[in-house]
Amino acid sequence: MKVFEKLVLPNGSHIPNRIAKAAMEENMADLNHVPSDELMRLYQAWADGGVGLIITGNVMVDRRAMTGPGGVVLEDEKYLDTFKRWAQIARSKGAQAWLQINHPGRQMQSNLGQETWAPSAVALDLGKMSNRFNTPIEMNQDMINEIIQRFANTARLGEKAGFTGVEIHAAHGYLLSQFLSPLSNKRQDQWGGTLENRARILIEIVKAVRAVVSDTFTVAVKLNSADFQRGGFSAEDAQQVVVMLNELTVDLVELSGGSYEAPAMQGQARDGRTLAREAYFLEFAQEIGKIAKMPVMVTGGIRRKQVAEQVIESGVDMVGIATALAIDPNLPNEWKRGQNTVPELKAITWENKTLASLANMATVKFQLRKLSLGKSTNPKVSPLWALTLQQTAMACRTRQYKKRMRIYSFAS
pLDDT, tens digit, 9 for 90 and up, residues 186-203: 999 999 999 999 999 999
Residue 145: the pLDDT is 98
pLDDT, tens digit, 9 for 90 and up, residues 10-40: 999 999 999 999 999 999 999 999 999 999 9
Separation CA 370–CA 357 (nearest Å): 20
Separation CA 279–CA 319 (nearest Å): 9
User: Does 258 map to a domain?
Assistant: yes
Q: Does the pLDDT value for residue 299 go beyond 60?
A: yes
User: Does 406 map to a domain?
Assistant: no
Q: Which of 200, 10, 238, 208 is nearest to 101 (CA)?
A: 208
Q: Which of 47-51, 237-241, 270-274, 347-351 has the lowest mean pLDDT?
A: 270-274
How high does pLDDT run on average in the chain? 92
Q: Does the pLDDT value for residue 271 go beyond 50?
A: no
User: Does 369 map to a domain?
Assistant: no
Distance of CA 279 to the CA centre of its chain: 16
Separation CA 221–CA 206 (nearest Å): 8
User: Does 63 map to a domain?
Assistant: yes
Q: Does the pLDDT value for residue 81 go beyond 60?
A: yes
- The domain in which residue 166 lies consists of 2-345
pLDDT, tens digit, 9 for 90 and up, residues 336-388: 999 999 999 988 989 887 788 889 999 999 999 999 999 999 999 999 999 99
* Confidence category of residue 411, pLDDT binned at 50, 70, 90: low
User: Does 389 map to a domain?
Assistant: no
Residue 262: the pLDDT is 66
Q: Does the pLDDT value for residue 107 go beyond 60?
A: yes
For residues 41-58, average pLDDT: 98
Residues 6+ apart with CB under 8 A from 231: 182, 183
What is the value of pTM for the model shown? 0.94
CATH of the domain at 171: 3.20.20.70
Domain count, the chain: 1
**% of residues, the chain, pLDDT over 70:** 94
Q: DSSP label at 35?
A: B
User: Does 131 map to a domain?
Assistant: yes
Separation CA 24–CA 58 (nearest Å): 7
Does residue 269 or residue 56 have the better pLDDT?
Answer: 56
User: Does 403 map to a domain?
Assistant: no
User: Does 32 map to a domain?
Assistant: yes
* Confidence category of residue 131, pLDDT binned at 50, 70, 90: confident
Residue 274: the pLDDT is 37
pLDDT, tens digit, 9 for 90 and up, residues 204-259: 999 999 999 999 999 999 998 876 677 788 889 999 999 999 999 999 999 987 77
